[in-house]
Amino acid sequence: MLENISQIVRQAGDIVLSAHDVAAQTHEKSSAADLVTDYDLAVENFLKEHLPPLVPGSIFFGEEETENADPSKGWAFIVDPIDGTTNFVRSLQQSAVSAALAKDGVVEYAVVLDPYKNELFSARRGGGAFLNGLPIRVSGRPLAEGVFGMGTALYKREYLEPTMRLTEQLFKRSCDFRRLGAAALDLCNVACGRLDAFFEYSLCPWDYAAASLIITEAGGYISTLEGQPMPIAHRASCWASNAVNKDILQELEI
């Protein structure tokens, strides 16, 4: 199953790499900071056509078309066709295709592809996490010696003040931080030890579903900022880290 999902996601990545004249095919959703391109729709349609047949009776829960689906019941594919759309529109080459397969709200298989670096992160529950087929693990660095990632949902401006406040607190306790603009890749960077922690105040299930399994299978930790399990059907805050930094938020103002 994991190999089949991976092959389909790689083909979807080829659609991303074929993109040209993206600005002319970009449209606003809720605001100028919330964008969708014709390529997002093309990738999602491709995944919608090819993933559900792998599990007859499964539902498809994608960023651009959820079909009023409930991914917490039965088998469900949870998909972000292009995570980091603003990066994609601006040719920053920091975007990903993300696909998770969950059963009754528990992610069992996960694939996140960075088509620009040809890096495919994958995991199966109980089977470990991998980057291009090689095992990966979270780092063992404390934040004082590490780098954390953070995200900002620009169309959720109510989270601006707490985001900046938490960033400042963590920055004072770390070496540095990054804001790269693609949460699925940020989380995978925690899973393979490039980052030592990551947070964001508002993510959707398609942003984190696949990467959440990749992190835990790599020996890491992921929860809401309040320490609750990540939901599978609605927005939530997110804290991901290695084991060393798991409880650091308890010492900070969230």
Residues 32 and 15 in one domain: yes
Residues 57, 174 share a domain = no
Determine the pLDDT at residue 124.
98
pLDDT in tens, 73-125: 999 999 999 999 889 989 999 999 999 999 999 999 999 999 999 999 999 99
Which of 111, 135, 159 delimits the end of a domain?
A: 135
Same domain, 23 and 130: yes
pLDDT of the residue at 117: 98
What pLDDT sits at residue 30?
55
Q: 206 and 148 in one domain? A: yes
Query: What pLDDT, on the 0 to 100 scale, is given for residue 21?
Result: 74
Residue position matching structure tokens 């934040």: 143
Same domain? For 125 and 149 the reply is no
**Residue partners of 129: CB distance under 8 A and separation at least 6:** 121, 122, 123, 135, 136, 137, 191, 213, 214, 215, 217, 218
What angle (nearest 5°) sits at the alpha carbon of residue 124, between those of residues 120 and 129?
A: 50
Per-residue pLDDT, 24: 63
Q: Which range of residues forms the domain containing residue 216? A: 143-251
- Of the three residues 84, 119, 135, the one that is the final residue of a domain is 135
Statement to judge: residues 109 and 229 lie in one domain? no
Q: What is the CATH number of the domain that holds 170?
A: 3.40.190.80
As given in the structure block, the two tokens for residue 167 are 């960033």
Pair 10, 120 in one domain: yes
For tokens 């606003």, the residue is 28
Number of residues that make up the chain: 254
* Same domain? 97 vs 198: no
pLDDT at residue 31 in the model: 54
Residue 239 belongs to what H/E stretch? Answer: strand 236-241
> Is the domain of 60 the same as that of 128?
yes
* End residue of a domain, out of 135, 152, 185: 135
pLDDT of residue 35: 61
Q: Does one domain contain both 229 and 202? A: yes
Q: Are 167 and 123 in a shared domain?
A: no
Q: What is the pLDDT of residue 146?
A: 98
174 shares a domain with 208: yes
Predicted pLDDT of residue 83: 95
Cβ(137)–Cβ(218) under 8 Å? yes
Segments in the chain below pLDDT 50? none
Residue 30 is part of a domain; what is its CATH number? Answer: 3.30.540.10
> What's the total number of domains in the chain?
2
